[in-house]
Amino acid sequence: MSPELFKYKPYSYKSDVWALGCCMYEICTLKHAFDAQTINGLAVKILKGSYPPINTIYSKPLRDLISKKISKFYCNFFFFLDFYSKNAVNKPEAKAHYMGDSE
């Protein structure tokens, strides 16, 4: 559930952007960005926006992009322009790690 829904705000594109950030986070880390034993605990973590950092094998632009998407303060109508930035997804070490070629 996105921060907007926990704040009883209407569903909007912001929730989708946030969900995209969570999916991207999970692809990189193979873990949930926000995890808790109860729905209340989950709400607290999501509303605080606290999650473990992404491994530095991924490029800084990609890590920043994911952080922007997961941030409860991020509001940008041009979020897809960020996603298609060459620098965000073009680090060989991250590709090797994802493909299982890293040590």
Considering the domain boundaries, does residue 80 fall inside one? yes
- 103 inside domain: no
pLDDT at residue 2 tops 70:
yes
Provide the mean pLDDT of the chain. Answer: 78
CATH number at residue 58: 1.10.510.10
* Residue 86 belongs to a domain: yes
Range of the domain at 89: 3-98
34: its two tokens: 């926000």
Neighbours of 56 (CB within 10 A): 10
Q: Is residue 20 part of a domain?
A: yes
pLDDT per position as a tens digit, 57-102: 999 989 988 888 887 665 544 455 555 555 555 555 555 554 555 4
Residue 22 reports pLDDT greater than 90: yes
Can you give the pTM of this predicted structure?
A: 0.70
Domain count along the chain: 1
SS (H, E, C) 32-72: CCCCCCCHHHHHHHHHHCCCCCCCCCCCHHHHHHHHHHHCC
40, 66 contact by CB (below 8 A): no
Task: For 69-97, give one letter per residue: b (16+ CB within 10 A) or e.
Answer: bbebebeeeebeebeeeeebbebeebeeb
Instruction: Say if 34 falls within a structural domain.
Output: yes
Q: Give the pLDDT confidence of 24-52 residue by residue, as tens digits.
A: 999 999 999 999 999 999 999 998 888 99
**Three-state SS at 73:** coil
